[in-house]
Amino acid sequence: MENSNKLSKLKKLNEHKDKIKKENYITQLTRSEASIIFKLRTRMINIKNNFKNANKDIQCHRCQNGDENEKHIFEICEALKVTREQYKIKSYEEVFNNSTTIERLKTIANFIKDIKTEDF
């Protein structure tokens, strides 16, 4: 019992450290990069699926072949294939992954800037 208590405390401490580390990452991004990552994580990035009221038609405006959502942009859209390869973008999940490095977050933010979803 004693041991498992210690383990659980250690686990909590590590989780706390991870959280601090993650928050530090955010401060290492430029304002516009942090803004993009925040918008990506909260599904507020300017793509059709996130603004359904304004867009009754949510078909991707780039390829006209599928709903314009984050997964489509990050993993599927044929019109963005070359740009994705340029930035080595493979999955939307990377945006949320705890192990994603500051460099990767910067790269992801630059990918979003490059495909011009909105002005930052």
Quote the least distance from Cβ 57 to Zn ion, whole Å: 13
For position 77 contacting Zn ion by CB under 5 A, the verdict is: yes
Cβ proximity to Zn ion, 62 vs 71, nearer residue: 62
Distance CA 5, CA 1 (A): 6
x-marked contacts with Zn ion along 3-42 as a string, rule CB under 5 A: ----------------------------------------
Cα(80)–Cα(100) distance, integer angstroms = 22
CB 101 to Zn ion: min, Å? 27
Of 29, 34, 63, 115, which lies in the binding site for Zn ion, with binding defined by CB under 5 A? 63
Q: How far is the CB of 77 from Zn ion (least distance, A)?
A: 3
- Asked whether 66 and 59 are in contact (CB, 8 A), the reply is yes
- Which of 79, 80, 102, 103 has its CA nearest to residue 90? 80
Residue from the set 62, 71, 84, 106 that interacts with Zn ion by CB under 5 A: 62
Query: CB within 8 A of 55, min separation 6: which ones?
Result: 48
